[in-house]
Structure 1
Amino acid sequence: MGEWTNGLFSCFNNCTLCLITYIAPCYTAGKNAEAVGDSCIMVGALWYLFPAAGVYLCAVVRGKIREQKGIDGGFGGDCLVHLFCPLCALVQDAQEIRPGETTQGESMARE
């Protein structure tokens, strides 16, 4: 089976994504959910309003990402990662869904 392309603590591989997630983690949680076909608004809002529900829903999203990419793991591990290191997990999930994606600010800085 496959492995994650970025480690759990490789948050700074995409500094813009890391900063956005640090400031507005509900946004990243929602965009990750949207990328796997779940409701962006529901996951983002629940992550913000009810953290326990957010952990559960983000673990479900992480499971879908693992399934799509053929990555080893299980639901229990996904819950633990999102419970104890939620921001790193959100960034790792986003980097797996959208590898190498840059935001407008990053692309402008490189020109």
Structure 2
Amino acid sequence: MSNNFTYTFFNCFDNPQLCILTFFCPCYTNGKTAEAVGHNCVLCGLAYIVGGCIAGGIVRRKVRETKDIEGNICLDLLAHAFCPLCALVQDNREVCGAPYEQAMARS
């Protein structure tokens, strides 16, 4: 494994729509990220409600495996324990690209 995350950990505010969505409904973001890496969206969303740190860490591990990113499960769990919103946004942007980043100007 030699890759790093495309989006840095504290760049969650670069995507305001995703940031706001994640703030109000983190289970949705975790579910959609899980779905993008092959897990069940609904189950992972519900698991985040019950055990956010653990459920988020498991999805983050799958994101790292899918994208061949360095790290370990301990760092994944710590990321979701200490700054869960930034971790959720980073995970989602890594696998889903930037679906909420659209140009506002009309051509």
Identify the match of residue 89 of structure 2 among 88, 91, 101: 91
* Correspondence for 2:98: 100
Give deviations 1:40-61, integer Å, cap 9, x for gaps: 111111212x1xx332122111
* Preserved contact between residue 59 and residue 79 of structure 1 (Cα < 8 Å): yes
Give deviations 1:82-104, integer Å, cap 9, x for gaps: 1111110000001101223236x
Which structure dedicates a bigger proportion of its chain to helix? 1
For normalisation by structure 2, the TM-score amounts to 0.89
* Preserved contact between residue 31 and residue 40 of structure 1 (Cα < 8 Å): yes
Q: Give me the whole-angstrom Cα distance separating, in 1, the residues matched to 2:43 and 2:105.
A: 35
For normalisation by structure 1, the TM-score amounts to 0.86
* Correspondence for 1:110: 105
Q: 1:77: Cα distance to partner?
A: 0.5
* Correspondence for 2:36: 35
* Correspondence for 2:74: 76
Unaligned runs of 5+ in 2: none
* Preserved contact between residue 43 and residue 54 of structure 1 (Cα < 8 Å): no
Q: Give me the whole-angstrom Cα distance separating, in 2, the residues matched to 1:21 and 1:102.
A: 12
Among all aligned residue pairs of Structure 1 and Structure 2, give the percentage whose two residues are the same amino acid: 42
Q: Give me the whole-angstrom Cα distance separating, in 1, the residues matched to 2:98 and 2:58.
A: 23
* Preserved contact between residue 61 and residue 73 of structure 2 (Cα < 8 Å): yes
Unaligned runs of 5+ in 1: none
Give deviations 1:51-77, integer Å, cap 9, x for gaps: xx3321221111111111111100000
* Correspondence for 2:5: 4
Runs (4+) of structure 1 exceeding 4 A deviation are none
Identify the match of residue 55 of structure 1 among 45, 53, 57: 53
